[in-house]
Amino acid sequence: MFDPDKFIDDQVQKLRETVKGKAIIAASGGVDSTVCAAIVSKAIGDQLLAVYVDTGFMRKGETESIDGMLGRLGVNHVIVNASDEYFEALKGVTDPERKRKIIGEKFIRVFEREAGKFGAEYLVQGTIAPDWIESGGGLRDTIKSHHNVGGLPTEMNMELVEPLHDLYKDEVRKVARALKIEVAERQPFPGPALAIRIMGEPTRESVDIVREACAIVEEEIEKAAAAGKMDLPWQYFAVLLPVKSVGVQGDVRAYGYTVAVRAVESLDAMSAAYMKIPHDVLEAISTRITNVMKDRVNRVVYDITDKPPATIEWE
């Protein structure tokens, strides 16, 4: 039987014996990196620096909530606002794979800079067992290059520390509970974040629209699920389409953007079925999106495609 408290004590002791200098970790707000940061911080205190990079593509309230959580855990951390750099690097970029590549590379540059400033000698990573088992077994999805923000190159000149290396997800969750980390049972979210939910160039304006739309989709669906109207989907979000269409506002012709809503059921993201959401829930989503963003969005559509032939994300 896995004992989370014993695991924490053993790791803290081991880390105290092996980590003899400053260490750095990329904190994403996900359970693995948060648990890792909390354990290493227990062992070496402020010799650990957790770096959270705000790329400009985070969900609504995400940066603030991660900042608060790391603070409550007593983890020495820094929030790096790198959004200007990201928007600059993505100027005119519309190809999904180029977006992923640029975002992944930029992340490495920003992180390296912070590691250098701090003088870190150790790199802490929240790798868990399925991460290395899958990449070794050639099971990786080759349809999209799943560049994880946080996926750092091994040639960084630091010694690797991976306290969760042999744990499975359910064990990490047990450790999280033992550490009183609110394990957000949140839906999967892609590393490149909202940048790949904008069909076209990611700009401050387009990311604002998709951020608001995603927040509305999440809220309305979670509300409907809590009220027993539907099951919580595997993933549910909004995508901003590069299509403008004619609408009417009052008695004036409008010309605004289109938002697509996506909600799917899945077991492992390898295949997925579009979710048969009650129409009143779809209507609430559509009404809110077009009210809140009156001047910008005048059409909301629902994606009724399974994977395959589509994928879950649009890019």
Stretch that binds ligand XMP, among 4-12, 79-87, 184-192, 201-209 (CB under 6 A): 184-192
Stretch that binds ligand XMP, among 41-49, 113-121, 190-198, 295-303 (CB under 6 A): 190-198
CA–CA separation, 169 vs 130, rounded Å?
8
Q: Considering only residues 47, 206, 235, 298, which one is a binding residue for ligand XMP as defined by CB under 6 A?
A: 235
Does 313 help bind ligand XMP (rule: CB under 6 A)?
Answer: yes
Task: Enter the tokens of residue 49.
Answer: 């620096």
Rounded to whole angstroms, the Cα distance separating 152 from 148 reads: 9
Does the protein bind ligand XMP through residue 143 (CB under 6 A)?
yes
| Size of site (CB under 6 A) for ligand XMP | 16
Q: Cis omega before residue 309 (within 30°)? A: yes
CA distance linking residue 201 with residue 179, whole number of Å: 40
Q: Tell which positions 91-120 bind ligand XMP, by CB under 6 A.
A: 100
The pair of three-digit structure tokens given for residue 79, joined into one six-digit string: 């929030």
Please state at what angle helix 169-178 crosses helix 4-18, rounded to 10 degrees.
Answer: 90
Contact between 173 and ligand XMP by CB under 6 A: the answer reads no
Q: Which of the 8 DSSP states describes residue 76?
A: -
- Rounded Cα gap, residues 304 and 275, in angstroms: 8
The stretch among 146-154, 173-181, 248-256, 290-298 that binds ligand XMP (CB under 6 A) is 146-154
3-state SS assignment for residue 81: strand
DSSP letter, residue 163: T
Q: Which is nearer to ligand XMP, 149 or 259 (CB)?
A: 149
Distance, CA of 241 to chain centre: 21
**Residues 65, 148, 203, 305: which binds ligand XMP (CB under 6 A)?**
148
Angle between helices 204-226 and 279-292 (to 10 degrees): 150
> Does residue number 147 form part of the binding site for ligand XMP (CB under 6 A)?
yes
Complex with ligand XMP: residue 236 or 257, whichever CB lies closer: 236
Tell me the window of 189-197, 199-207, 212-220, 284-292 that interacts with ligand XMP (CB under 6 A).
189-197
239 binds ligand XMP (CB under 6 A): no
Q: Of the two residues 191 and 256, which places its CB atom closer to ligand XMP in the complex?
A: 191
CA separation for the pair 254, 148 (Å, rounded):
39
Q: Contacts with ligand XMP in 13-72 (CB under 6 A)?
A: none
Q: Choose the stretch contacting ligand XMP; rule: CB under 6 A; options: 173-181, 222-230, 283-291, 304-312.
A: 304-312
d(CA 100, CA 87): 13
Q: By CB under 6 A, name the binding residues for ligand XMP.
A: 100, 143-144, 146-148, 188, 190-192, 235, 269, 307, 311-313
